[in-house]
Structure formats: structure tokens, C-alpha cells
Amino acid sequence: MDCVVGHSVLKCSTIYSISGRTMVTSQHSLRGYLPHGVQDLFLSEADRRRRAEAVLRDLFSRWAYREVIPPTFEYDETLVIGASPDLRRAMYRFFDREGHTLALRADFTTQVARIAATKLFDQPLPLRCFYIGSVFRYEEPQVGRQREFTQAGVELIGACTPAADAEVVALAAAALEALDVHDFQIVLGQMALFRALTADLPGDNLERIREAIDQRNPVRLKRALDDAGMTGPRRAMLASLPDRIGGLDVLEDAFAFGGAVAEAAYSLAQVYRLLEAYGLAARVVLDLGEVRGMDYYTGITFRGMSPGVGWPLLSGGRYDELIAQFGRPLAAVGFGLGIERALLAQASPSCFTPLTAPHLIVQNCDHAACLSLVQRLRQAGYRVEVDVLGRREADLLAYARSQGCLRVLRCSGQEGLWHLWDEGGERPVTAAQLWEETKTWSD
Amino acid sequence: MERLTVALPKGRLLEPSVHLFQHLGYVCAIGNGSRQLVVDEPASNLRFLLARASDVPTYVEYGAADLGIVGQDVLWESGRDVYEPLLLGFGHCRLVLAGAPHHRGRDFRLVSSVRVATRYPRIARAYFLQQGISAEIIPLTGAVELAPQVGLADLVVDVVETGQTLRENGLVELAEIARCQATLIVNRVSLRLRLADVRRLLATIEMAIGSTGNGDPARV
């Protein structure tokens, strides 16, 4: 790709073809176009996104989480820590002038882990952090996920208890509810259980078993278990993992194993009971076949799902080994939520689109009294637009209608008196009368 | 509750798929010539949609269909992220590497590059990588047997059922890459959110396959 940036014109040899015909040829200007995978948000869609962010910021604060705002890019060698091979491949990378490789963040968790280990390590534990911002992944755009998309999430650091796990899962459920997603389920898994069941297997066999469970492919799973020479109750348990979806009964025979298997089952059961106490029994379903992210997760894992959206809206879990890679062994649990995707599952999408039409449009005027009235109305919380184009009445009324505004105010030239047009026609009003009227103006 | 949606593939797997559902007592009035692409079955609480075979994994991954029937060859080629809980025991075929008879016994690792025409570029790439063979993949959308005859490619990667087409075009099988059959795929979200419905359907299909005995036992 031959890119020349000069006079802010980007020229690229970009070729894509439709029915064999080259549509954009060498040196064709791309000015005014967007690259694949990014998008503009404006008008009501921008309002809706900001509203969603505000709702989540407010929610996380009320659960006593504090915001962290890490940089958008940092050293690649930092960001790849804890990242899966897929995520590493998806990172945008570039160089600084000293030749260091930099990368755009593809996820927040590694950054929060770095901050916790290098800056906040001597703060009283646990740390409760949340973040909201863009992440960047060089992947094919999917439903509700462009190459740049918005993640919001929390990390609860320095607590390895079922109470910490349950708090984060409950907060994830609260986040979906706050976003007006009514129809959703939290699928709760336990990586520690799978890890314990496969602890002594060589990596090759382990990965084949994990993959077959992940695909819920019984034929492949049987073959992988055969090849690994698995027998007895451990084999039976592994073979049945893909079907273990439901309530606490899926754990029943796990306690008999003793050791790490029973421990993992026991802690999952505790988290489940706590979630029942949170009133989330109907929202949570256990799924022991949830074995994704095995290199990363060490305890519970969970995903938020909603019918009609084919991908999880949020995912998270316990990752007790990540922060140690920055030099401080701290347990942690957290989740990340894709805001754009979650908004696809909203029960009534319009509820996040605030009314933005001005309450009042005021004809252009240079009187101090007029401008001070405008300022006082704005301070009182009303949306007031001054027509800076100096339109005459008819034009101004037409413009106001096009903006969904029901009221136009004009200076009468007389001290303390204005003309107000609204549904009731035109009439003279004093400042006091106008203030009286504002009480009937809706949000 | 909304109906479960099942995506059925046009082409060679459609007839046995429809038979399977008819055998289970569904009306499933769909054929390869069907104009109607979505068929509701209110009585059985199912909805069928008819899609191009290679699109079935996409419908299921996006959740536009909860389940789908597709050949494993098409599924692997799609690289879509779906569950594969049940092999259906019909639509058996094999993915093979084929070429002119003089290629038989040749060690392609010792060749700087070999040209391969295929409808399965993704599978072919993975296969040659695994075999340590440098290959130039030429993606085609049909009749790949033609490619070696006119010098477009040295070899082909394609599915064979009987081997008839290969023979007619003067090609011989050089290696088997994989054995495939029809498989049921399930959307990752649907499996959890529609667990009871999906399980019921899986169990009925499984029983039907077992009782008709047409092929491999799917769950061992």
C-alpha cells in the first residue's frame, strides 16, 4: 500500500472489485470515505451511545467502582500479556520514532492489570476498577462489533472469594438491566473444574479434548478421550461436560472426586447460591461445557446472552494468574461488555434516545435583556437556540417546525415584552409570563 | 416462546434432511425447487428456512437460525463458530486430493510450488500447511475437475462420493484429506437460551437416526 499524506489528502493504491471491475483504482482519492470497520455516530445514535455510557458509569460508581482511563496505545510487549493468540493477531501495531512496537489496545484487562500491579499495589485491597472506552481489533466486523468498538467493564482485584465472584456476576446482570436489556441469561462456567479434571494431561491431548467440548462435538470428544487414554469416573465426567447445562444438579457427582475437582465444584456452588440470594436465580444457568479462554481464566467464567443476538453481550471470569506477570500476584475477577452489541438487545431502543429538540428558538437580537433571558432559561435547564442566521418570521417558524421545536420568541423592541409563537398562535408575553409558561414545557 | 428456526441447505443434502424431519412427523414441505424460503410449522413449533449450503453456517452463527444442517466439508470451510452436537449419518462423502495419474506417488514436498484448484481454499491451505507442501491455491466455485485438464492447476481438492466424476475427467485420487457427513449445528447462544427445546429436538433426531440405522451411530 502506497500511502502519501500530504495536504491532508490520503492517496492509496486500494483495489476492490465488483464483478471483476476495479472500482477504486490506484491513486484514487479516498477523501470522505471511511476504512472498513469504523463508523461515525451522529444525531440520535450518538446520543444513544453516550447515554448508555453514562448509565453504566453511574451504575459502576454506585457499586463503589472507580474509573481508570488508560491510554489508547502502549507498548506491544505489555498489551500482549494475557492476550489469546487470536487477540494478538487482531492487534493494530505501529512504531514510534525510537523503533519500539506500539499497539492499540484490543482489551482493557491487561491495562488494568498493569495499573494495579505497578501503581495501585500498595492501596488497600480489594481494588474496584471500571473502564469505558474504545478497543481496536483487526477482525471482520460482526453484529454489533466494528473494528473499533466500545467496551465497558469492571475488574475486582485482590479478592479470591465466592463473594467477589458473585458481586461481579451480579454487577454484569445489573449492567444489562441498566441498559434496558430485559431478556438475557448469564451462563456460568467453572474453568477450575476443567483444569482439575485434566491436570496431568499433555498439552496436545488436553487441547483436543478442550476443543471438542467447546464445539459440543461428542464424536470428536470420544476420540480425543480415547487417544488420551482416559478411563474411569474422570473420563465419564469429561465426556458429559458438554451436556452439563442447568442448575446445581450438574455438579452433583463432582463432589465425590475430592481434591481440586470437588473444590472447584464447591466454590461454583457457593457463587450460584450467592447469586440466588442476589435474586438472580432465574437469570443464571450453569454450563460446565464452557471451556473457552483456558490459558487465561482460572476460576469461574460467565457470559451474558440474549436471544436474537448470536454472540455474547458480555463475558468475564476469574483470572488469578495475569497480574503476577506484572510482578504482583493478585487475584482478580472481572467482565467486559460490548456496548454496541448490548444495545442491539435493548427492549425498547428509543428509551435511550433523549428528546433533543430545542424548547425555544429565539430570533436573533442584540438587546442585553433578550440575551440575558436566553442565558437564564439555559441555566434553568431548557434547550434554547438563538437563530444566528437572522431569519424573518415565516422562515424562522418553518425552520423551528423542521427542528421539532414548538415555540419561537421574538423581541418586541419594547422593554420587557416579547412575542411568543406556539400552537396557540402569536401573543405578547412578559418575562414573568414566559417563566410561568416554562412550567408546562416537557423534557 | 418463539419458534426454533432450522436452516436447511439447498442441494444434495436437502432431500435427506427433509426426509429426516418428515420421518419425525414434521410436514416440512420444502424441496430444491421451492420458491418459498421460509416455512412455518405451527403445529410442531418449528420454522424452516432454505439457504445456500455454504450460507447455513453463517445463518446459524449469527443466530438468524437456531440450528442448521450442513455437510462437515462446508462447515469446516466456513470456519464459523457453532456447536456440532450431532452427526446425522447421511450425506457421506470424502474430501480428497486428486490429479492426473502421473502424479501418483510423487512427493510434493520436494516441489517448489504446486498449483491446486479447489472450492475449499481454507481446508486446502490447512492441509498443505500440515503436510509441509508449498501450494498455490486457486479458489474456484465449481467444476474444479476441469482445471487440471486445461493447465489451470496441477491438482484439485474436492469432495467425492463415488469417484465417478474424477474418473470421467481422467483424474485419480492421490490422498484422502477427510471423511465428511451431514452434521447438525447449533448457535452458541440458542443452545443455552433455548436449552429445553434444542435438547428435545436433538433427542428426537438422535432416536430417529438410531432407529432407521442409516449410517454411523452419531453419539457413541
Query: Would the pLDDT of A37 be above 90?
Result: yes
The Cα diameter of chain A in Å comes to 97
What confidence tier does A423 reach under pLDDT thresholds 50, 70, 90? confident
Tell me whether residues A310 and B188 touch, CB distance under 8 A: yes
| Cell numbers that stand for A297 in this block | 481464566
What is the pLDDT at residue A3?
40
What is the pLDDT at residue B132?
92
B162 Cα to chain A: minimum distance (Å): 25
Q: Each residue of B188-211: b (16+ CB within 10 Å) or e?
A: bbbbbbbeebbeebbeebbebbee
In chain B, where are the structural domains located?
4-91+181-212, 93-178
What is the rounded CA–CA span in Å between residue A330 and residue A156? 10
Query: Would the pLDDT of A133 be above 50?
Result: yes
What is the pLDDT at residue A23?
53
Query: Would the pLDDT of A361 be above 50?
Result: yes
Which residues of chain A does B2 touch, with a Cβ-Cβ cutoff of 8 Å? 307
For residue A304, give every residue at least 6 positions away whose Cβ sits within 8 Å of its Cβ, in sequence order, or none.
A172, A173, A176, A184, A185, A186, A187, A312, A313, A314, A315, A335, A337
Which residues of chain A does B86 touch, with a Cβ-Cβ cutoff of 8 Å? 218
Which residues does residue A142 pair with via DSSP β-bridges, in sequence order? Answer: A145
Q: What percentage of residues in chain A have a pLDDT greater than 90?
A: 80
Query: Would the pLDDT of A15 be above 70?
Result: no
Query: Would the pLDDT of B215 be above 60?
Result: no
Instruction: Identify residue A407 by its one-letter amino acid code.
Output: R
Which of A187, A245, A308 lies nearest to residue B63, judging by beta carbons? A308
Q: Which of A23-27, A413-417, B82-86, B205-209 has the lowest mean pLDDT?
A: A23-27
Q: Which of A216, A287, A288, A309 to mutate to test the interface with B (most CBs of B within 10 A)?
A: A216
Strands B182-186, B67-71: pairing is antiparallel
Which residues does residue A127 pair with via DSSP β-bridges, in sequence order? Answer: A157
Q: Which of B70, B181, B192 to mutate to test the interface with A (most CBs of A within 10 A)?
A: B192
Tell me whether residues A187 and B87 touch, CB distance under 8 A: no
Question: Taking all residues of chain B, what is their mean pLDDT, rounded to a whole number?
Answer: 89
Which residues of chain B does A143 touch, with a Cβ-Cβ cutoff of 8 Å? 62
Q: Is B215 on the interface with A (CB under 8 A)?
A: no
What is the pLDDT at residue A10?
41
Grouping H, G, I as helix, E, B as strand and the rest as coil, residue B67 is strand
Q: What is the mean pLDDT of residues A301-322?
A: 94
* Tens-digit pLDDT profile for residues A154-206: 999 999 999 999 999 999 999 999 999 999 999 999 999 999 999 999 989 99
Question: Taking all residues of chain A, what is their mean pLDDT, rounded to a whole number?
Answer: 91
What confidence tier does B211 reach under pLDDT thresholds 50, 70, 90? low
Query: Would the pLDDT of A126 be above 50?
Result: yes
Query: Would the pLDDT of B95 be above 60?
Result: yes
Q: Is B219 on the interface with A (CB under 8 A)?
A: yes
If you ran DSSP here, which 8-state letter would residue B3 be given? P
What is the rounded CA–CA span in Å between residue A421 and residue A175? 43
Which residues of chain A does B64 touch, with a Cβ-Cβ cutoff of 8 Å? 310
Tell me whether residues A187 and B192 touch, CB distance under 8 A: yes
Q: Each residue of B7-43: b (16+ CB within 10 Å) or e?
A: bbbbebbbebbbebbebeebebebeeeeeeeebebee
* Tens-digit pLDDT profile for residues B3-34: 899 999 999 999 999 999 988 888 788 877 77
| Cell numbers that stand for B23 in this block | 420421518
Is this complex's ipTM strictly greater than 0.90? Answer: no
- Specify the residue for cell string 465426556: A239
What is the pLDDT at residue A352?
81
What is the pLDDT at residue B147?
94
Which of A216, A307, A312 lies nearest to residue B85, judging by beta carbons? A216
What is the pLDDT at residue A356?
82
- Specify the residue for cell string 410442531: B44
Q: Which of residues 86-115 of B touch A (CB under 8 A)?
A: 86-87
What is the pLDDT at residue B167?
92
CATH 3.40.190.10 assigned to B4-91+181-212: yes
A83 Cα to chain B: minimum distance (Å): 19
Q: What is the mean pLDDT of residues A35-58?
A: 94
What would the 3-class secondary structure string for chain A be?
CCCEEECCEEEECCCCEECCEECCCCCEECCCCCCCCCCCCCHHHHHHHHHHHHHHHHHHHHCCCEECCCCCEEEHHHHCCCCCHHHHHCCCEEECCCCCEEEECCCCHHHHHHHHHHCCCCCCCCEEEEEEEEEECCCCCECCECCEEEEEEEEEECCCCHHHHHHHHHHHHHHHHHCCCCCCEEEEEEHHHHHHHCCCCCHHHHHHHHHHHHCCCHHHHHHHHHHCCCCHHHHHHHHHHHHCEECHHHHHHHHHHCHHHHHHHHHHHHHHHHHHHCCCCCCEEEECCCCCCCCCCCCEEEEEECCCCCCCCEEEEECCCCHHHHCCCCCEEEEEEEHHHHHHCCCCHHHHCCCCCCCEEECCCCCHHHHHHHHHHHHCCCCEEECCCCCCHHHHHHHHHHCCCCCEEEECCCCCEEEEEECCEEEEEEHHHHHHHHCCCCC
Chain B, nearest residue to A285 by Cα: B192
Chain B, nearest residue to A309 by Cα: B63
Q: What is the mean pLDDT of residues A237-247?
A: 95
Q: What is the mean pLDDT of residues A47-70?
A: 97
Residues in chain B: 220
Which residues of chain A does B87 touch, with a Cβ-Cβ cutoff of 8 Å? 219
Superfamily (CATH H level) for B93-178 = Periplasmic binding protein-like II (3.40.190.10)
Tell me whether residues A306 and B192 touch, CB distance under 8 A: no
Q: What is the mean pLDDT of residues A123-133?
A: 97
Question: Which domains are seen in chain A, by residue range?
Answer: 1-33 (no CATH), 43-351 (3.30.930.10), 360-438 (3.40.50.800)
* Tens-digit pLDDT profile for residues A85-108: 999 999 999 999 999 999 999 999
Q: What is the mean pLDDT of residues A109-123?
A: 96
What is the pLDDT at residue A282?
95
Q: What is the mean pLDDT of residues B65-94?
A: 95
Query: Would the pLDDT of B218 be above 70?
Result: no
What is the pLDDT at residue A195?
95
Between chain A and chain B, the number of residue pairs with CB atoms below 8 A apart is 62
What is the pLDDT at residue B210?
76
What is the pLDDT at residue B1?
58
Which of B60, B192, B219 lies nearest to residue A287, judging by beta carbons? B192
What is the pLDDT at residue B220?
27
Q: Is B171 on the interface with A (CB under 8 A)?
A: no
Which residues of chain B does A222 touch, with a Cβ-Cβ cutoff of 8 Å? 220
* Tens-digit pLDDT profile for residues A363-390: 998 899 999 999 999 999 999 999 999 9
Which of A216, A222, A285 lies nearest to residue B220, judging by beta carbons? A222
- pTM of the shown model: 0.86
C-alpha torsion B106→B110→B116→B122, nearest 10: 120
Q: What percentage of residues in chain A have a pLDDT greater than 70?
A: 94
Q: Do domains B4-91+181-212 and B93-178 have the same CATH topology?
A: yes
Q: Is B2 on the interface with A (CB under 8 A)?
A: yes
Q: Which of A181-190, A270-279, B22-31, B199-208 has the lowest mean pLDDT?
A: B22-31
Which of B83, B87, B193 lies nearest to residue A219, judging by beta carbons? B87
